[in-house]
Amino acid sequence: MSRRANEGRVDLSTLSRLARLLIYAVLFAFLILFYFYPLTSILSLSFTPEGNVSLEPFTELFGRPRYLRVLWFTIWQAALSTLLTVALALPGSYIFARYDFPGKSLIRALTTVPFVLPTMVVSLAFTAVLGPRGLVNMALMRVLGFQEPPLNLQHTVAIILLAHVFYNYTLVLRIVGSYWSNLNPRLEEAARMLGASRWEAFRQVTLPLLVPSIAAASILVFIFDFTSFGVILVLGGPRFATLEVAIYRQTVHYLNLPLAASLSVIQILFTFALMTVYTRLQATMTLPVELRSRRATQRRPRGWREWIWVGGNLALMVVLLIAPLVALVQRSLTLGGGLSFTFYRELFRNPRGSVFYVPPAAAVRNSVTFALATVGLAVVLGLMAASMLDGRSTRVDVQESGDGSLLKTLWRGLRQLLDPVLMLPLGTSAVTLGLGYIVALDEPPLNLRTSPVLVILAHTLVALPFVVRSVLPALRSIQPQLREAASVLGASPWRVWREVDLPIVARAVVVGAVFAFTVSMGEFGATSLIARPERPTMPVAIFRFLGRPGTINYGQALAMSTLLMLVCTAGFLVIERFRVGGLREF
Amino acid sequence: MKRIMFLLIVSLLLLTACGPAGTPTEEPTATPPPEPTPTESADGQTVRIMTHDSFDISEEVITAFESEQNATVEILKAGDAGVVLNQAILSKDNPLADVLYGVDNTLLGRALEEDIFQVYESPLLDEIPDRFELDEQHRVSPVDYGDVCLNYHKAWFESEGLEPPSNLEDLTEPNYAGLTVVENPATSSPGLAFMLATIGNFGEDGDYTWLDYWNELSDNDVLITQGWSEAYYEQFTYGSGGSGDRPIVVSYASSPPVEVHFSEEPFEEAPTGVVVGDGSCFRQIEFVGVLKNAQNPELAKAWIDFMLGEQFQEDIPLHMFVFPTNENADLPQVFVEFAVTPENPILIDYGRIQENREAWVDDWADQVLQ
């Protein structure tokens, strides 16, 4: 009797070890084939101009004060942008976590729209609002009687910071907001009852519990700002350069691959170091917490104070994030001073019989197809990665099996490496990786240089960190007792996962999916480097229109941008409605 | 512990659900995704053309070539001209395409230095004036040209009662303070062309060099943008529909006819003007060539003949907004009516550009951006 039971257990644990092995294999194969292999190919080509390795570019680099200035600027503007974004978005996260009010999902969807807009379009929108003849300046001139536009933000650090907040606000709002909404408000209420002031209760009770999600969001925002490209070039103007901008210039304009590669290496090493520190800290700061269904944590604002608090934050979002979007839409509908749908009609015409004409429906279809494929792939790989990184169950396994310490160390080493490694694609210059694909993936069976599959793979590489960062805090917050209790009560492992883990991480998976969708919809760099012209996405179409003179082209770019915003908003709303297996969601 | 296993099962289910997109990552080496196979013609010939994002042409022109040659045309666009050239250089042993179109005279030096083209002397070169043929060895053939010039907003100057500029020097006059927007030569092709125009015009030596000119231009509050679109659509008073405040912009000599063509209302005259005085424009010439190690060199050569032929050449202006090099090609009506061409644009030897490009741009940045 006991033998049979034992056999059964052995089988199961072998099976689960095999399964784990397979997860490792799939994840690492993906990263090696589509990240490390292309990257090392282009880097080794760059560092061996005459056949032997030369590290001269590094010495050259540090001999030029220009590049030290670039490095310093890259770091401080990213740090400042991140601080500002978190400071502005934290109150917003609070009201989204704790209150329920009309139009909430729509507002949340709209705050994410900036994330998908190409910088050139955002620049148009910012000029329309903040430019010398923009809404704000015109209003100030009219109301206060200035002769000249009083506000001049063009090509300043201020507009870089504003644009970074515009783009990344949603990261904090969604990641922190979704985590916060499942925190049990009782803890804070208890502190209040024990005599803590509102601020004390927040600082001593809620904030420490929120730290993992704030850190996760901040690290994403920081890396995004650290590798900022379009915002710096277009809005910052010619006086500012980040490492990413310098890499692009050295590669594209001078084909100085050794110098570009050294800059790329510095950027990647910095990201890696940052992520390693973060990973260490994160492991110590995550606590299992008691979570509550959001239905129990959210309510209508009560009394005028709460309404003002909610209203004030919403007003900030409207001014900061939504007003530029409205300006774009308004321009796409204006021709000769009046309301007109001309630009939208023109989207459906191909008067010159161009071979590259993209019917709007086709552009939407291409974008959405790429985006959905990216969501599928990124969520699957992201769940695998997150469950590996969570690691608690693995530790138990290793202790149980008690085999060689070498293997144990190897496993642990791999797992600790995985977290920072997963983030590296975000810290890698798109132009470096793009050229890496051209150099590396040029022969069967991996002749993907001109394949649309490469677009999906590149998008997934960038989307993956978002899924991991969204899911991991939720996964780590699960109290082990919950799973044990379920097991003791006789639930099968499948049921434990379905009834305990899934409902808790479901919300976070949806957040990750929204970001994966967003990353893919808005991505332009990789798409333009590898997309074949017969599958142009919406951003590609926008760039085509913006590349030539003429009111109609300009208008069509705006109309297509409006379409992009609509499709994305619809996409967000649909994904958010998505219920994993019809479960009661938290 | 078992959780992972179930995660995996669900994951694999999802993976199969998301179809072909998911498969390659699962077992990347064993099952590569199918190469998208173009619909091949009867004798299965395909010519692949690598080009920049601005390339455009009529569908019927492509079809004409395909039926004439009984072949398929596949076009690969991969970023701006600089990116495309880099890709061609990095993949020269195993090229992405048979033909590269879109290398202009500012990039030609690099392309020839890297030796990516094979020699082909097209018989159609007889119909193209010698002044466009920059490579004596015929590794590349000139397809089209365009002039980068100052454009100005006619109505703005009329309403202000100010004369539009007539040469580069005018821009440094106090009357024109804060009126001009130009693109950064480090990041923009027309920006680079305009900088080259000032180098050709004012020279590198003497009492007053091109850097002195830029110094004065800076003092006169010139605005520098990253690229053409920001300059034209955000800062230029006409292109931005009023939200910009710069009535002078660096654009192309062909911009006015294009404005007329892409406008809702009919125009008597173009809304924008071009400064075409001697030495105020820079001429860009774009080339095509057969890549070394091309898979299908014969068809590639046929394609080059086709690009230089009248049908293709006449289709160029309204698709790419530049001028055909073939003298026999007729211009579309809107170009005949509204286009002005500078008689003496600046031309700088491509070898000299290649040699000095980085140094010039750095000098420019030191002077203008400090």
Q: Cα(B144)–Cα(B326) distance, rounded to whole angstroms?
A: 8
Q: In which residue are the tokens 């536009």 written?
A: A149
Q: What is the pLDDT of residues A359-397, one digit of tens each?
A: 899 999 999 999 999 999 999 999 888 888 876 544 444
For residue B22, list chain A residues with Cβ-Cβ distance below 8 A.
373, 376-377, 380
Mapped onto helix, strand or coil, the DSSP state of residue A111 is: helix
Q: In which residue are the tokens 């680099």 written?
A: A61
Q: Is A529–B83 a contact, with Cβ atoms under 8 angstroms apart?
A: yes
Q: What is the pLDDT of residues A247-290, one digit of tens each?
A: 988 888 888 888 899 999 999 999 999 988 888 777 666 666 66
**Mean pLDDT, residues A153-158:** 89
CA B242, B244, B246, B248 dihedral sign is negative
Q: Cα(A380)–Cα(B22) distance, rounded to whole angstroms?
A: 9
User: CA-CA distances (angstroms) from residue A430 to A45, A366, A529?
Assistant: 17, 21, 9
Annotated domain spans of chain A: 15-47+79-339+348-582
Chain A's closest residue to B189, CA to CA, is A253
A243 in Cβ contact with A74 (< 8 Å): yes
The residue type of B53 is D
Q: Is A530–B258 a contact, with Cβ atoms under 8 angstroms apart?
A: no
pLDDT at residue B34 greater than cutoff 60: no
Q: Is the N-terminal amide bond of A420 cis, ω within 30° of 0?
A: no
The distance of B26 to chain A (nearest Cα, Å) reads 6
Which residues are A334's β-sheet partners? Answer: A339
Of residues B272, B271, B288, B264, the one with CA closest to residue B57: B288
At residue A6, the pLDDT reads 45
Q: In terms of pLDDT, which residue wins out, B112 or B41?
A: B112
**pLDDT, averaged across chain B:** 87
Q: Cα(A462)–Cα(A471) distance, rounded to whole angstroms?
A: 16
Q: Cα(A115)–Cα(A92) distance, rounded to whole angstroms?
A: 17
Q: In which residue are the tokens 């600027």 written?
A: A73
A513 in Cβ contact with A467 (< 8 Å): yes
pLDDT band at A31 (very low <50, low <70, confident <90, very high): very high
Which residues are B288's β-sheet partners? Answer: B101, B141
**Mean pLDDT, residues A427-433:** 88
Residues in chain B, total: 370
Q: Does B96 touch chain A (CB under 8 A)?
A: yes
B237 in Cβ contact with B244 (< 8 Å): yes
pLDDT at residue B50 greater than cutoff 60: yes
Selected residues 98-137 of chain B with any CB under 8 Å from a CB in chain A:
110
The residue type of B158 is E
Of residues A510, A508, A491, A509, the one with CA closest to residue A500: A491
pLDDT at residue A492 greater than cutoff 60: yes
Neighbouring CB atoms inside 10 A of A6's CB total: 10
What sections of A145-256 are H helices per DSSP?
157-181, 185-193, 198-201, 207-226, 230, 243-248
Q: What is the pLDDT of residues B81-135, one digit of tens each?
A: 888 898 899 888 889 899 999 999 999 999 999 999 999 999 999 999 999 999 9
Residues 6+ positions from B221 with CB-CB distance below 8 Å: B177, B178
**Mean pLDDT, residues A391-406:** 51
Looking at residue B338, the DSSP 8-state letter turns out to be H
Q: Cα(A532)–Cα(A451) distance, rounded to whole angstroms?
A: 8
Q: In which residue are the tokens 């502005």 written?
A: A88
User: CA-CA distances (angstroms) from residue A292 to A98, A547, B353?
Assistant: 12, 51, 67
Selected residues 21-40 of chain B with any CB under 8 Å from a CB in chain A:
21-22, 24-30, 32-33, 35-36
Q: Give Cα B233 distance to the centre of its chain.
A: 18
Q: In which residue are the tokens 């830029």 written?
A: B214
pLDDT at residue A543 greater than cutoff 60: yes
A130 in Cβ contact with A151 (< 8 Å): yes
Selected residues 275-334 of chain B with any CB under 8 Å from a CB in chain A:
318-319, 321
Same fold, B46-145+285-331 and B147-283+340-368: yes
A518 in Cβ contact with A568 (< 8 Å): yes
Residue % of chain A over a pLDDT of 90? 29
**CATH number 3.30.2320.80 is the correct assignment for the domain at B147-283+340-368:** no
**CATH number 3.10.560.10 is the correct assignment for the domain at B46-145+285-331:** no
Which residues are B49's β-sheet partners? Answer: B75, B99
Q: Is A355–B251 a contact, with Cβ atoms under 8 angstroms apart?
A: no
Q: What is the pLDDT of residues A120-133, one digit of tens each?
A: 889 888 888 888 87
Out of A255, A457, A544, name the one closest to residue B53 (CB): A544
Residues 6+ positions from A36 with CB-CB distance below 8 Å: none
The distance of B359 to chain A (nearest Cα, Å) reads 10
- Top residue of B243, B306, B333 to mutate, by most chain A CBs within 10 Å, is B243
At residue B6, the pLDDT reads 43
Gyration radius of chain B over CA positions: 24
Annotated domain spans of chain B: 46-145+285-331, 147-283+340-368
Is this prediction's ipTM beyond 0.90?
Answer: no
Chain B's closest residue to A445, CA to CA, is B32
pLDDT band at B221 (very low <50, low <70, confident <90, very high): very high
In the structure encoding, which two tokens stand for residue B282, read together? 């820079």
A183 in Cβ contact with A93 (< 8 Å): no
Q: Is A449–B96 a contact, with Cβ atoms under 8 angstroms apart?
A: yes
Q: Is A154–B223 a contact, with Cβ atoms under 8 angstroms apart?
A: yes
For residue B29, list chain A residues with Cβ-Cβ distance below 8 A.
29, 33, 445-446
pLDDT at residue A324 greater than cutoff 60: yes
For residue A155, list chain B residues with Cβ-Cβ distance below 8 A.
224
Residue % of chain A over a pLDDT of 70? 89
At residue A47, the pLDDT reads 84
pLDDT at residue A153 greater than cutoff 80: yes
**pLDDT, averaged across chain A:** 84
Residues in chain A, total: 586
Q: Is B234–A131 a contact, with Cβ atoms under 8 angstroms apart?
A: yes
At residue A410, the pLDDT reads 79
Phi-psi region of B225 (alpha: psi -120 to 50; beta: other; left: phi over 0): beta
Q: Cα(A354)–Cα(A560) distance, rounded to whole angstroms?
A: 18
At residue A165, the pLDDT reads 96
pLDDT band at B43 (very low <50, low <70, confident <90, very high): low
Q: Is B15–A376 a contact, with Cβ atoms under 8 angstroms apart?
A: yes
The residue type of A437 is Y
The residue type of A472 is L
Q: Cα(A433)–Cα(A436) distance, rounded to whole angstroms?
A: 5
At residue B192, the pLDDT reads 95
Q: What is the pLDDT of residues B223-267, one digit of tens each?
A: 999 889 889 998 999 988 878 889 999 999 999 999 888 887 778
Q: Cα(B36)–Cα(B12) distance, rounded to whole angstroms?
A: 25
pLDDT band at A401 (very low <50, low <70, confident <90, very high): very low
At residue A11, the pLDDT reads 55
CATH superfamily for A15-47+79-339+348-582 is MetI-like (1.10.3720.10)
